Amino acid sequence: MAVAWEFHLPFAPADLLRDGGPGRYVVQEVLTVRELPPALTAFRTAFRARGALAVLQHFDPLYSLLHHFRAVQAAVKEDALELMMQVVSKHSNELPAILGDSELSHADRSAHLNALKMNCYLLTGLMDAFEMETCNNSLLEVDPGGKNKKNRTKTSQSSWEEEREPLLRLLTQLLQLDLRQLWGGLVVEEEFVSLMTGSCYRILENPSIGLQKHRATREAVTHLLAAALVHYDHMFSATLKITQMLQHFEHVAPVFAQAVSLWATEYGLKSLVGELLREIGQKCPQDLARDASGVKGYATFITELSERIPALVLSNMSVLLRHLDGESYMMRNAILAAMAEVLTQVLNGDKLEEVARGTRDQFLNMLQAHICDINGFVRSRVLQLFTRIVQRKALPLTQFQSVVSLAVGRLKDKSVVVVKNAIQLLAAFLSNNPFSCKLSCADLAEPLKKEMQKLQEMRNHGRSTAAITPEEEWEAMLPEVRAATQQLFQPLQEGEEEVLEVEETAESTSEQITGLLRKLNYKSAARLTQKALCRFQGKEPFSGPTEDNEEATILGVLKRLYTGSCPGENSEDPPRGNSSLNTEEVVPEEQSQTELVKQEMLVQYLQDAYDFSVKITEALSLISRMMYENSVSVVQEAIEFFVTVSKFGVPQALLGVRRMLPLIWSKEPGVKEAVLNAYRRLYLNPTGDSERARAQSLVHSLSLIMVDASLGTIQCLEEIISEFVQKDEVKPAVIQLLWERFTEKSQCSSLERRAAVMLLGMMARGKPEIIGSNLDVLVTVGLSEKACEDYRLAQEVCNAISKLASNPKPAQEKNKAPFRLPQNHMLFGCLSETVSKGFAQPSGHWIPFMEAAVMLIYQLAEGAEEICAQILQECSRQALEKLQEADGQKADPAVSPSRASDGDSSLPTFLLMHLVSLVGQVALQQVAYLEVSVSAELRRRRILREEEKTKKRSDSSTKKQRPRSTGNETTMEEELGLVGASADDTEAELIRSICETELLDENHLFSAFVPLVLKICNNPGVYSDPALSAAAALALGKVCMISSEFCDSHLRLLFTMMEKSALPAVRSNLIIAAGDLAIRFPNLVEPWTSHLYARLRDPCPSVRQTAGLVMTHLILKDMVKVKGQVSEMATLLIDPEEAIMGVAQNFFSELSSKDNAIYNLLPDIISRLSDPNCGVEEESFHIIMRHLFSYITKDKQTESLVEKLCQRFRTARTERQYRDLAHCLTLLPLSERGLHKLQDNFDCFADKLQDPAVYSCFQTVMARFRRAGGKPETKALAEELEQKLAAAHNRGLDSAETCQEGSGTPMPEPAKRKTTEGSCRHPLNTVNRDEDFVTPKPRNLRNPKRAQKRPSRKKAIITFSSDEENSSEDELSAELREEETPTKTTPITRSSARRLR
């Protein structure tokens, strides 16, 4: 079988068409596509006859097929692939016998070698062609094409993917043969190995190779390359090829990580790991920083490889460390992740050697250093890695404190992702802390102090004392003993043998174990105990109660042995074989030294626990502030953190749990769901053996939250609980227990009983039938004769019943009559009786109950006004009777100071207070009843009538044809909405006329009480009781809500009291009342707006806070025109009270959501606050501006503000104003256009640059612009502007010096900053002159000429109440003259968001 030529594997297919020299095979003819099928048939016939050697005569047809591959039909290509698989398979099966034939001739060997190379060339060529076609088709699938074409592509692709794996297995089988015999026992030529492996690499280049469905293909490629690596010295080529592919194909990194780990573990190719890591380590860091895609591949490869084979990565880690100082953050992340994997999987445990321990500490130090990396992604990644290290308990205790401190520091990071991961790390520290399940600083400080004193005593005396009990020693040893015990259940390490044997008796074994414990040899003691438990079953001390698992049993035996032996009385037995070395004198010394070491360990343990608790407490205050960040993920992590903390008994955790409550109203679904999940985990999963016990635990924990809870907290809780009830997450047993507590069937305190009613009311919001089905029980128990003993319980009963009225109606029942109870229902009888009985009794809780009762009557009763009129009459009767009694005692000269004097008679103060409170509440609820309930009922009835008319009309139209014109007119009116609109106006006018003309008419009941309210308000000198004054002020505000005419005539009195009253409660009540009046009668209140703003500077914090809340609501609801006076809201940003600062921050945050609102207001705010008379210090001004400018984010706003601020320099009068304007410029991020604005307006501020502070601000602006970078022409413009700034500054200084030398007059010094203590603002003086408080002049914008002609009014002179009780009524009056009250007001329209643009 002589062959005259030799087949050389070509570098390119075209090389086979050229004559390469004598003895080299050349393709004679490239067949056409039509000639290919018969040629393949001939090859198939020859293959059947001659076997694999048939290719020697039929190579050209298959080469031609590869040449025309794209043009050949799919069936022909598939036939060729199938044929070549058969050829190579047969050749592979025949080769073992041929290679083993020692008498094989040179000619036969050459023939088989040529056939092998030809067959493999053709088969791999077909594989590459099919793979290329599949990749191209998958890329073209996104293009629109015919349906049949797409289906054909999919079928062809799937068939090739099915064939790919058997082909790779076939080539692997071939490579596993000793093919060197065909090359004469020499090395197989590299071209042949590259031919076989090249197909593998090309398959891996397919982006879809990483999918799960191609797992078998990946494994086949891995084994084929392994065969090449093991048998054919492919390592050098593989190293270069893998590093190249990692650089250019991101998707291969996980595939190669899996393959390399397999080659290292199953094929022993560990050196390949070192070669690959060395190749990556030698890459230039600067080049990697420029090649982002290549870096990503390397980084993923290193990370995944370290997860699979961390020990091998550890041995080659040194070659990668240079990249930790490189610019590529992805490489830093990858190397740090590799370190973390090594720490958790290799360098973990207490039994590390000295070298390993040093490496571990070195890695941990590197990780800690990169917590403060310059790149936020690296900082975030390191925190994630530490979280994993802590969760796997791989962080040594010596490093705990430093890592916790770094994590707390990262809570202030500017990157949201870093903050989120810092919170996760702290939560992991808590969940895996080795100290205690209770981490209260107060609980840990006391034992720490005590043990430190004992340690000091032991050191001072130098001898053994009974410093700590054996139980305390055991607690100190427990973590190490437990760790040693856990190692028993792990396989023995290399070189570790069991050398201890159990003694003959249980007693001697016990002594041996105790001795090992005292020598701190915990592992041996635990192993000996494990053996003894097997050998001495049932014998003391190995016969105690058995635990659920073996570890707990061993620990129990060790504890009994250690604590049962007294170290002071019996000297421990010396170890066997060493008795001759111990003397009686040495034993006490050893015991003393051992106990001193144990005491030091205990103190160190307590110290570490205390320090950890301090850091966690510090973190709590930081994280609690993050609950209201803009980032949803940070808020969710903060909520999760507090859920974790609450399990460890940290006292501050409850504050965080309460602080998250308002987030239930968040517009972000993720935040709201996080709060629900937090409370679900904290309260809905109680522990208990039975359903009853779990219900008791849940009710108890929820009741604790409501102790001292504010109204806002209760409203938030109600929203959460109603959500749980709607989702049926609250068990019936809980509701049953609450009813038992309320009815006193279950023993509980009055607080718990009240909490039960509150919880029932909260649940009724989700399911009203909870209250509706037991209404009689609520009334008979909660509003019975005993209600007077506990008004707060009765108040909560009213609130719970009111949930029946507040239940939202379904859409389909919108025209259904509202739920109301008949006037003679027992509920209203009980309420009337309870209110009337308590009226004459002094109680601080009667007024809140009365308000809830009156509100409930108006919500649920038919004819509510009649019921309340009866209550008013009954209470008035009681007051008159008291007055008559007082008249009978007027001869008595001793008048009680708690009685309000009115001429010759007096009443108890509380009685007057009850009366005016009742009048005010009934007045307010009457207005609400008319405006809401009656109005809605009128509309509902009208709609029903209209529906009935429409129905009748439609019925009659079918019987009788109506004229077309009438139908068209009616239809047109209905389409335009004129019918409904006019009817609505009619109904509204009816309600308004009732309020204006009837409610305060002399025939109405209110008219009898209004003079009393006015008299108390007008004469605070006579009615000096603070509570009475506050109640009367509130009642006046409520009565003013009835009629615009009454409101207009008494607004002056109301604002006078708000300004001049010395009682904060009065001022607060009137601010709230004024806010309500501003919504009901905006035109009347508008001239008095400045007095509302003035309360923002009230000396009392509670009044300032109330004013801030009221103004927030009015401004955000567009009920008050936003003017420059909003600067008063800005001053609250520097208020000493944190709650008031929070109100102001919330206001500006909400205002910023309106288009351009803050941008439009900023210039006026700056002008007002920089005014020296404003009283805001420069430093405070800077704080306010820093907050406000944070809302300026649009480029156009920034450019416009630069221009406006520059122009304001012209109108500025003082040096303070220059400095403030310049400082504001530093707060704006200057863009290229902004720089042009500065250049264009240079003349506005050039003359102000002589002031060093102004010049310094402009230097700061230019320095920040330079750091931002920009175009060369922009930099040139910036340099030119800097030169102009410097020239103007120097020119100003030179002219100042010249002026000073010529005239001898010194230049005026810059205004000195005022220093104030406490608040940075001047509080408003409470003692104002009467001339300062005048009725605001109405503005008439429509006819300014008339306003100019009108004569100016004199300032009103007001006589306010004096403190002399014996003054005459005229002197104590604050009557208003008619000419002092505004007669015309500016019509106010609600401004819209469009106006703010």
Q: Fill in the amino acid letter for 886.
A: A
pLDDT digits (tens, 9 = 90+) for 1313-1354: 434 334 344 443 433 444 444 444 444 433 433 333 344 443
Task: Assign 1110 a pLDDT band (cuts: 50, 70, 90).
Answer: very high
Q: Is the pLDDT of residue 306 over 70?
A: yes
Mean pLDDT of 650-667: 80
- Residue 1073's pLDDT is what? 92
- Helices and strands, counts by H and E, the chain: 60, 2
Mean pLDDT of 1134-1144: 88
pLDDT above 70 as % of the chain: 78
Write b or e for each residue in 124-148: b if 16 or more Cβ atoms lie within 10 A of its Cβ, otherwise e.
bbbbbbbbebbbebeeeeeeeeeee
- Give, rounded to a whole angstrom, the gap between the first and last alpha carbons of the chain: 96
- Residue 1092's pLDDT is what? 87
pLDDT digits (tens, 9 = 90+) for 971-1020: 444 544 445 567 677 877 887 878 777 777 777 778 888 888 899 888 88
- Residue 1318's pLDDT is what? 40
Q: Is the pLDDT of residue 1037 over 50?
A: yes
Q: Which residue has the tokens 């403190």?
A: 1363
Q: Is the pLDDT of residue 676 over 80?
A: yes
- Residue 554's pLDDT is what? 84
Task: Assign 891 a pLDDT band (cuts: 50, 70, 90).
Answer: very low
Strongest mean pLDDT among 423-437, 1053-1067, 1225-1239 = 1053-1067
pLDDT digits (tens, 9 = 90+) for 102-117: 666 777 777 778 788 8
Give the 3-state secondary structure of residue 1022. coil
Q: Is the pLDDT of residue 1109 over 90?
A: yes
Mean pLDDT of 843-871: 89
Task: Assign 141 a pLDDT band (cuts: 50, 70, 90).
Answer: low
User: Residue 490: phi, psi to the nearest 5?
Assistant: -110, 155
Name 901's bridge partners: 906
- Residue 857's pLDDT is what? 92
pLDDT digits (tens, 9 = 90+) for 497-548: 455 666 777 788 888 888 888 778 888 888 888 888 887 776 777 776 666 6
- Residue 444's pLDDT is what? 66
- Residue 1293's pLDDT is what? 58
Q: Model-level pTM?
A: 0.65
Task: Assign 1074 a pLDDT band (cuts: 50, 70, 90).
Answer: very high
pLDDT digits (tens, 9 = 90+) for 60-79: 788 788 877 787 777 887 77
Which whole-number Å values give the CA distances from 499 to 351, 492, 518, 1252, in the listed order?
Answer: 18, 13, 19, 83
Higher-pLDDT residue of 368 and 131 is 368
CA-nearest of 1194, 1201, 1141 to 1165 is 1201
Distance CA 66, CA 60 (A): 10
Average pLDDT score, the chain = 76
Which whole-number Å values give the CA distances from 69 to 59, 76, 156, 1120, in the listed order?
Answer: 15, 10, 14, 80
Distance CA 981, CA 979 (A): 6
Q: Is the pLDDT of residue 313 over 60?
A: yes
Strongest mean pLDDT among 247-261, 341-355, 377-391 = 377-391
Strongest mean pLDDT among 242-246, 1039-1043, 1156-1160 = 1039-1043
Which whole-number Å values give the CA distances from 550 to 30, 489, 965, in the listed order?
Answer: 78, 10, 97
- Residue 1160's pLDDT is what? 85
Distance CA 322, CA 310 (A): 19
- Residue 35's pLDDT is what? 79
Strongest mean pLDDT among 42-51, 409-418, 1272-1281 = 409-418
* Lowest pLDDT segment from 405-414, 799-808, 1265-1274: 1265-1274
- Would you mind telling me the total number of residues written for the chain in this entry? 1397
Higher-pLDDT residue of 1377 and 648 is 648
pLDDT digits (tens, 9 = 90+) for 1167-1196: 888 887 777 888 888 999 988 888 888 888
Q: Is the pLDDT of residue 490 over 80?
A: no
- Residue 1379's pLDDT is what? 44
Higher-pLDDT residue of 1333 and 737 is 737
Q: Is the pLDDT of residue 1106 over 90?
A: yes
Higher-pLDDT residue of 511 and 350 is 511
1337 C-beta neighbours (distance < 10 Å), count:
13
Q: Is the pLDDT of residue 1355 over 70?
A: no
- Residue 1212's pLDDT is what? 82
Distance CA 1171, CA 1125 (A): 13
Q: Is the pLDDT of residue 570 over 50?
A: no
1130 C-beta neighbours (distance < 10 Å), count:
25
Q: Is the pLDDT of residue 481 over 50?
A: yes
Long-range contacts, 89-98 (Cβ 8 Å, 24+): 89/170, 90/47, 90/51, 90/52, 91/51, 91/52, 91/115, 91/116, 91/119, 91/174, 92/170, 92/173, 92/174, 92/177, 94/51, 94/52, 95/174, 95/177, 95/179, 96/177
- Residue 1321's pLDDT is what? 42
